[in-house]
Structure 1
Amino acid sequence: MVKKSATRPADIYLRFLQLAEAIRGMPSLPPLEPLEERILELVARASQEQERLSVRDMMAKQELGSPATIHGRLKSMREKGWIMLSETEDARRKQIDLTQAALIHFDKLSKCLLKAAKG
């Protein structure tokens, strides 16, 4: 008989994934494609670090694909309600910001993480 040990870090992470999946099933924002999720993470991290991230900055990230691909994903994410573009002092540059709905989504994920850690 295998004795169940204390909760392993992997168990916490797997419980978090299960809780996060439940949130994705709730009606809120439309789901993102994998590249859009990667972009959202970059925008969220920049926001957390209080850095400005412009469309031009994002399009320069070659690891995300061509500028046309990135532009298309940013447009899709705006239409889905995840991001918004804000004016800057340079009218030619638009800053990428999270919408209030995206911030609420991150709040829900944070609660899932805390719940998973508590067991």
Structure 2
Amino acid sequence: MTKSSRGADVYLRFLQLSEAIRGLPSLPPLDPLEERILVWIARAGSEGERLSVRDMLAKSEFGAPATIHARLKSMRSKGWIDLADTDDARRKQVELTQRAMAHFARLSRLMIKAANS
């Protein structure tokens, strides 16, 4: 087995395992745009960056401000994100919920399992 086919096998095994947990009762599924937004929020958080709703609305690659606002509202109602108060009452900080962090932790464990199998 070549290195590239081993890498492909690990990734495909990870996808298979991650699909299995999608069926478990946890958090409601996200649409593709919400998933992209979630990854951006998670990446920013892991780099210590604090995002506000205003920062999110400025990201034109996610669509019009109304679209982004609707997705943030949906993600909040599904339990993926919270909007926390800041020093400025007009600004809300976007953060992952504990349930979203637990989801990423499960995915991490699956990635390790796929790599070790």
AA of the residue aligned to 2:61? E
User: Once the 2 structures are TM-superposed, how far is the Cα of residue 8 of structure 1 from its aligned partner?
Assistant: 1.2
> Whole-Å Cα distance in 1 between the matches of residues 61 and 45 of structure 2?
20
Counterpart of 1:108? Answer: 106
> Whole-Å Cα distance in 2 between the matches of residues 80 and 102 of structure 1?
10
> Whole-Å Cα distance in 2 between the matches of residues 99 and 55 of structure 1?
15
Larger Rg: 1
The runs of 5 or more residues in structure 1 that have no matched partner are none
AA of the residue aligned to 2:7? P
Query: Post-superposition, which runs of at least 4 consecutive aligned residues in structure 1 deviate over 4 A?
Result: none
2:94 match: secondary structure = strand
> Whole-Å Cα distance in 2 between the matches of residues 79 and 56 of structure 1?
19
TM-score of the two chains, using structure 1 as the length reference: 0.94
User: Once the 2 structures are TM-superposed, how far is the Cα of residue 90 of structure 1 from its aligned partner?
Assistant: 1.0
The runs of 5 or more residues in structure 2 that have no matched partner are none
AA of the residue aligned to 1:105? H
1:8 match: secondary structure = helix
1:1-119 matches, within 5 Å, as 5=1, 8-119=6-117
Q: How many residues align?
A: 115
RMSD (CA atoms): 0.9
> Whole-Å Cα distance in 1 between the matches of residues 23 and 111 of structure 2?
17
Report percent identity of matched pairs.
68
TM-score of the two chains, using structure 2 as the length reference: 0.96
> Whole-Å Cα distance in 1 between the matches of residues 40 and 52 of structure 2?
11
